[in-house]
């Protein structure tokens, strides 16, 4: 990090690190005990580590001249390292909690290892830690290449990455201590939410400033998606997390929303976290890395436009399909269902556009596991968006809701689509950023591909069976008009599926571990060579 | 149209504004009316807020992530009504910050759990689920026997009062004593709890040990209160059955 910063940038960084340390100390001192005090201490420790790192390097030699003529890739490399670390944490906890459902006696007797506290560690770890870091890291790369401009400054990318990961650490350690807002995928407490807003504004400003410096008149499609991801996630995050803290010196707060309005706001957020965190951002990734890796231009420009605006406009409406047959007014449920079905059009337009892009490059899909990751991602994207529209239809939802079918659906999207496109992007980026032609262990990519596909399929098929079984058992009546099964019988019927899903998850996790080791080996064997064409048309700002 | 977009995508601010507008419409149409249409939430006349002890239990329910496996929302489907009880009404959770409707039933729905089992059953079930339900896959919560920290309660009630939950000054001021008194029916302060929160409030030592106020007391008090804060759902179902 420090080697790529000029002396004056190191000074600014040092000032920011001191500020972070002070903020952490103030939090710890104000709270004195509980999660907020621990989080203050974590922030102070991180700030202090950065103070030493930057302070120690403050008078190292000035950064070599000519840096402005290069893209700024050090933050992307750092972000990719964080991505694979969070993949192991998030998926590892996921496999562990999956195992606990099959083998509940394995739960240790300590509060912080209980299923209910670990479950959000899994979701936050994979969505924000793994997915979020991948999005930020790749967005820096894609933004620079498609704008043909160096990042607008060298400090804010670090601030965004480090700040975002502090949020993730605050969130997951908070859950372990029992600090949670209970809103799914938005469990982090109020001060972590405020912190994320600051990080996000920094991210947006950096993105816009770099775009403003672009050497291309047109903004490439991938950036539309990354922009939608940044903007709409900010909107969702702020509205859903509006809360009144009990005290400024404590973690606990109460959401300002209550009852049915809270439910609607929560699922407006929840489903659009899927839309704009787990879909829009990753479509940005797809629209860049798929053409780059296959050597084929995007099949249809018009289809890109239709699908982009379709996704941005339609998705926002669909959250209420999480609340069919509940106390939410019927008309809102109907709107949610209708738009969910319509959403299939732009979703399949994107998936079809991606797959049609591979026309003329199918031999590469056969030979190149990295491209195959992207192809499989596009296929899973198409399948899980179809499944999503289907599950949103009211009578289908009456069977599937509250069951493991929903969990299976989510994982066909996250394992099959999101994780696969991330792995495709990492295997494209890691060699390029290391000045290499290939990953350090090319054969391991092939192994990873088959582990990932097998794991995802086992997982998803197991939970389809689990969910449909549950749904049917819950609604079965016998000839006397009584319910056929007790709830407990439906729990007992889940055992084989829960075991299978644990095995599927473990296979997927072992692939991710292979990816992490391969990425580490590749980056350690970096040559430092930069391809002649991989340079900005617009150099960095004058220094 | 294509020409228009061809020009729009040269303007970063144009894309920003376009995205914000396109992504705001759906939410505005679906969410804003929920606050203005009166029929959305009909607050039942007999609805009472949680007592401080129940609220403390609700906070433990949230802390332990119980909502990840247990919904509190009976849908208006025949099998759910037969299995759990009357379907849930919006008014029942009108004062719930946050709502705990849930999204997954790894375990059964809890919207009608109040009064369904004895306190002793809940205590045994929370401390060792498989002692009462051998096939259960719920984790055990042995640490709930620790003392309940009531110091946060006045602040919590005051915060909820700001958000519109009808907690009076007296309820806020006496939150800690009320929490203790609810678990000690013989104490002088127990009458005050009934006076403040209504005669339907259960006064007893929920964990079976009146000498200590534990997290179990709070959580069991909460579980026993779920679905009992108003009779509106039961009345509506009877009305519909006529």
Residue A532's pLDDT is: 77
**Hey, which residues does B214 pair with through a beta bridge?**
B147
B32 and B122 in a single domain? The answer is no
**Distance, in angstroms, between B190 CA and closest chain A CA?**
26
Concatenated DSSP letters for A152-200?
S-SSHHHHHHHHHHHHHHHHHHHHHTT-----TT--S-HHHHHHHHHHH
How far, in Å, CA of A414 to CA of B228, rounded? 39
Q: Which residues of B touch A325 (CB under 8 A)?
A: 75-77
User: Do the chains contact at B30 and A314, CB–CB below 8 Å?
Assistant: no
Residue B141 located in a structural domain:
yes
Domain span including residue B19: 2-40
The reply to whether B214 and B95 lie within a common domain is yes
A325 at interface of B, judged by CB pairs closer than 8 A? yes
Same domain for B6 and B121? no
Find tokens 């099949």 and name the residue: A299
In B, minimum Cα distance to A339 occurs at B26
Q: Which of residues 15-74 of A touch B (CB under 8 A)?
A: none
Q: What is the pLDDT of residues A221-274, one digit of tens each?
A: 999 999 999 999 999 999 999 999 999 999 999 999 999 999 999 999 999 998
Quick one: B35 and B140 in the same domain? no
Q: Do A104 and B103 touch (CB under 8 A)?
A: no
B98 and B27 co-located in one domain:
no
Q: Which two tokens stand for residue A57?
A: 């390097």
B143 and B167, same domain (yes or no): yes
Query: Given an 8 Å threshold on Cβ–Cβ distance, is B93 in contact with A327?
Result: yes
CA distance A260 to B65: 20
Residues B36 and B57 in one domain: no
B62 in reach of chain A (CB within 8 A): yes
Residue B42 pLDDT:
80
Per-residue pLDDT of chain A (543 residues; tens, 9 = 90+): 788 999 999 999 999 999 999 999 999 999 999 999 999 999 999 999 999 999 999 988 888 878 888 999 999 999 999 999 999 999 999 999 999 999 999 999 999 999 999 999 999 999 999 999 999 999 999 999 999 999 999 999 999 999 999 999 999 999 999 999 999 999 999 999 999 999 999 999 999 999 999 999 999 999 999 999 999 999 999 999 999 999 999 999 999 999 999 999 999 999 999 899 999 999 999 999 999 999 999 999 999 999 999 999 999 999 999 999 999 999 999 999 999 999 999 999 999 999 999 999 999 999 999 999 999 999 999 999 999 999 999 999 999 999 999 999 999 999 999 999 999 999 999 999 999 999 999 999 999 999 999 999 999 999 999 999 999 999 999 999 999 999 999 999 999 999 999 999 999 999 999 999 999 999 999 887 777 788 888 776 765
Half-sphere exposure of A410 (CA within 13 A, CB side): 20
Question: Can you list the alpha helix ranges (DSSP code H) found in A298-343?
Answer: 301-315, 330-342
B242 pLDDT tier (thresholds 50, 70, 90): low
Same domain for B9 and B89, yes or no, is no
Residue B171 falls inside a structural domain: yes
The whole-number pLDDT of residue A350 equals 96
Residue entry with tokens 């339907």: B200
Give SS3 for A235. helix
Q: Give the CATH number, domain containing residue B167.
A: 1.10.760.10
CA quadruple B25, B28, B30, B36: dihedral sign: negative
Retrieve residue A435's tokens.
Answer: 């000045």
CA distances from A415 to A167, A397, A542, B103, B207 (A): 23, 22, 43, 20, 44
| Residue B109 maps to a domain | yes
**Cβ distance of A116 and B143 shorter than 8 Å:** no
CATH class of A73-524: mainly alpha
Q: How far apart are CA A213 and CA A216, in angstroms?
A: 9
Binary contact (B68, A212; C-beta < 8 A):
no
- pLDDT for A427: 98
b/e code A180-208 from CB counts within 10 Å (16+ = b): bbbbbbbbbbbbbbebbeebbebbbebbb
Tokens at residue B146, please?
Answer: 């620790």
Q: Is residue B89 included in any domain, yes or no?
A: yes
DSSP notation for A244-295:
EES-TTSS-EEES--HHHHHHHHHHHHHHIIIIIIIIHHHHHHHHHHHHHHT
Q: Look at B69 and A116 and tell me if their CB atoms are within 8 Å.
A: yes
Residue A149, strand partner residues: A538
Q: Is residue B46 a part of any domain in this protein?
A: no
**In this prediction, what percent of chain B has a pLDDT beyond 70?**
100
Cβ–Cβ contact A514 with B under 8 A: no
Domain identity same for B18 and B95: no
- Phi and psi at A216, nearest 5°, equal -105, 135
DSSP string, B181-204: HHT-TTSTTHHHHHHHH-TTS--S
Indicate if the pLDDT at residue B22 is higher than 80: yes
- Length of chain A in terms of residues written: 543
Picking from B144, B53, B47, the residue whose alpha carbon sits closest to that of residue B96 is: B47
Query: How many Cβ atoms sit within 10 Å of the Cβ of residue A167?
Result: 24
Domain ranges of chain A: 1-60, 73-524
Q: Please tell me the total count of domains within chain B.
A: 2
Based on the fold, state whether residues B191 and B141 are members of the same structural domain: yes
Instruction: Identify which of A217, A232, A246 has the shortest CB distance to residue B152.
Output: A246
CB atoms within 10 A of CB A395: 10
Q: Which residues of A76-101 are buried (b: 16+ CB within 10 A; e: fewer)?
A: bbbbbbbbbbbbbbbbbbbbbbbbbb
Q: Tell me, what DSSP letter sits at residue B113?
A: -
Q: How far is it, in rounded angstroms, from Cα A18 to Cα A23?
A: 9
Judge contact between A172 and A121, C-beta under 8 A: yes
Contacts of A146 (CB under 8 A, 6+ apart): A214, A216, A219, A220, A222, A223, A288
Closest-CA residue of chain A to B32:
A261
Specify the pLDDT at position A542.
64
Q: Are residues B97 and B35 in the same domain?
A: no
Taking only residues 134 to 173 of chain B, the set having a beta carbon closer than 8 angstroms to any beta carbon of chain A reads 135-143, 152, 155-156, 158-160, 162-165
Task: Note whether B56 and B22 are same-domain residues.
Answer: no
The answer to whether the peptide bond before residue B98 is cis (omega within 30 degrees of 0) is yes
Q: Touching check for B208 and chain A: CB below 8 Å?
A: no
* Minimum distance, in Å, between the CA of residue B206 and any CA atom of chain A: 21
Confidence of residue B216 (pLDDT cuts 50, 70, 90): very high
Place of tokens 């064997």: A525
CA B83 – CA B73 distance, rounded (Å)? 12
Render A62-76 in DSSP notation, one character per residue: PPPTTGGGS---HHH
For B151, name the nearest residue in chain A, comparing CA atoms only: A246
Of B26, B40, B79, which has the smallest distance from its Cβ to A483's Cβ?
A: B79
Interface contacts (A, B; CB < 8 Å): 259
What's the rounded Cα separation, in Å, for the pair B99 and B204? 26
Tokens of A243: 């809360």
Q: Least CB-CB distance to B83: which of A219, A322, A483?
A: A483
Q: Do A109 and B83 touch (CB under 8 A)?
A: no
ipTM: 0.95
Q: Which of B78, B88, B103, B227 to mutate to test the interface with A (most CBs of A within 10 A)?
A: B103
Q: Which of A108, A221, A224, A259 to mutate to test the interface with B (most CBs of B within 10 A)?
A: A259
Determine the Cα–Cα distance for residues A310 and A332; give it in Å rounded to an integer: 20
Q: What is the pLDDT, as a whole number, of residue B41?
A: 83
Calculate how close chain B gets to A349, using CA atoms only, in Å.
Answer: 17
Residue of A nearest to B95 (CA): A258
- Confidence (pLDDT) at B40: 78
Cβ distance A189 to A246 under 8 Å?
no
Predicted confidence at residue A68, as pLDDT, reads 84
List, for residues B81-139, the tens digit of each pLDDT value. 999 999 999 999 999 999 999 999 999 999 999 999 999 999 999 999 999 999 999 99
Q: Tokens in use for A336?
A: 């949610």
List Cβ neighbours of A396 (8 Å cut-off, separation of 6 or more).
A390
Predicted local distance difference test score (pLDDT) of residue A305: 95
Of residues A420, A439, A417, the one with CA closest to residue A430: A439
Report CA A514 to chain centroid distance, whole Å: 20
DSSP-based three-state secondary structure for B151: coil
């Amino acid at each position: 990090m420090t080697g790529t910063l000029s002396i004056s940038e190191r000074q600014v960084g040092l000032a920011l690190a001191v500020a972070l340390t002070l903020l952490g100390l103030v939090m710890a001192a104000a709270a004195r005990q509980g999660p907020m005090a621990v989080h203050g201490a974590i922030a102070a420790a991180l700030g202090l580590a950065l103070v030493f790192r930057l302070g120690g390097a403050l008078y190292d030699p000035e950064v070599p001249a000519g840096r402005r003529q290069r893209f700024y890739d050090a933050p992307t490399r750092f972000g990719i390292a964080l991505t694979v670390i969070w993949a192991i944490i998030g998926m590892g906890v996921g496999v562990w909690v999956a195992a606990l459902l099959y083998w509940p006696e394995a739960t240790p007797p300590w509060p912080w290892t209980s299923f209910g506290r670990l479950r959000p560690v899994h979701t936050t770890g994979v969505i924000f830690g793994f997915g979020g870091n991948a999005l930020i890291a790749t967005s820096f790369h894609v933004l620079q290449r498609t704008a043909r401009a160096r990042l607008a400054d060298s400090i804010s990318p670090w601030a965004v990455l480090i700040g975002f990961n502090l949020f993730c650490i605050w969130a997951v350690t908070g859950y372990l201590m029992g600090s949670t807002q209970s809103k799914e995928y938005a469990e982090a407490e109020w001060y972590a939410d405020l912190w994320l807003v600051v990080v996000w504004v920094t991210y947006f400003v950096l993105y816009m400033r770099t775009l403003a410096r672009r050497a291309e008149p047109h903004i490439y499609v991938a950036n539309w998606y990354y922009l939608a991801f940044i903007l709409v996630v900010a909107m969702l995050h702020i509205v859903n997390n509006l809360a009144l803290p009990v005290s400024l010196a404590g973690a606990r707060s109460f959401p300002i929303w209550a009852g049915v309005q809270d439910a609607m706001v929560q699922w407006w957020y929840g489903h659009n976290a899927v839309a704009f965190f787990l879909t829009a951002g990753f479509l940005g990734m797809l629209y860049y890395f798929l053409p780059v890796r296959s050597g084929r231009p995007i099949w249809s420009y018009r289809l890109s436009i239709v699908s982009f605006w379709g996704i941005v406009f339609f998705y926002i409406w669909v959250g209420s399909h999480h609340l069919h047959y509940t106390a939410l007014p019927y008309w809102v449920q109907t709107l949610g269902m209708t738009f969910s079905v319509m959403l299939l059009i732009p979703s399949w337009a994107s998936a079809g556009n991606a797959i049609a892009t591979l026309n003329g490059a199918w031999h590469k899909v056969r030979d190149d596991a990295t491209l195959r990751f992207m192809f499989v991602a596009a296929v899973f994207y198409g399948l899980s968006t179809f499944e999503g529209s289907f599950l949103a239809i009211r009578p289908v939802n009456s069977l599937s809701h509250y069951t493991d079918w929903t969990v299976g659906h989510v994982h066909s999207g996250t394992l099959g689509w999101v994780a696969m496109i991330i792995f495709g992007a990492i295997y494209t980026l890691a060699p390029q950023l290391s000045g290499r032609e290939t990953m350090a262990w090319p054969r391991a990519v092939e192994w990873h591909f088959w582990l990932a596909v097998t794991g995802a399929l086992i997982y998803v098929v197991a939970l389809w069976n689990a969910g449909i079984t549950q749904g049917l058992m819950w609604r079965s009546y016998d000839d006397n008009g009584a319910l056929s099964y007790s709830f407990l019988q439906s729990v007992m019927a889940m055992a084989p599926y829960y075991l299978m899903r644990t095995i599927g998850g473990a296979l997927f996790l072992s692939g991710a571990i292979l990816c992490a080791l391969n990425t580490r080996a590749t980056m350690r064997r970096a040559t430092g060579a930069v391809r002649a064409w991989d340079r900005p048309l617009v150099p960095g700002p004058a220094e | 149209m294509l020409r228009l977009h061809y020009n729009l995508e040269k303007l970063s601010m144009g894309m920003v504004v376009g995205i914000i507008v396109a992504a705001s419409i759906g939410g505005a149409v679906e969410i804003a009316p929920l606050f203005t249409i009166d029929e959305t939430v009909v607050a039942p006349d007999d609805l009472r807020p949680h007592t401080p002890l129940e609220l403390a239990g609700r906070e433990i329910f949230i802390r332990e992530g119980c909502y990840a496996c247990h919904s509190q929302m009976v849908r208006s489907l025949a099998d759910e009504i037969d299995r759990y009880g009357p379907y849930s009404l919006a008014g029942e959770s009108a004062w719930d910050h946050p709502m705990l409707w849930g999204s997954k039933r790894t375990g059964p729905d809890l919207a009608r759990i109040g009064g369904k089992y004895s306190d002793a059953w809940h205590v045994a079930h929370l401390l060792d689920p498989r002692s009462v339900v051998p096939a259960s896959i719920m984790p055990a919560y042995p640490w709930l026997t620790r003392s309940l920290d009531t110091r946060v309660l006045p602040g919590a009630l005051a915060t909820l009062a700001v958000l519109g939950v009808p907690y009076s000054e007296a309820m806020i001021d006496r939150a800690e004593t009320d929490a203790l008194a609810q678990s000690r029916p013989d104490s002088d302060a127990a009458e005050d709890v009934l006076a403040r929160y209504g005669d339907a409030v259960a006064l007893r030592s929920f964990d079976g040990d009146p000498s200590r106020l534990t997290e179990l007391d709070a959580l069991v008090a909460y579980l026993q209160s779920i679905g009992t804060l108003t009779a509106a759902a039961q009345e509506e179902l009877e009305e519909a059955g006529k």
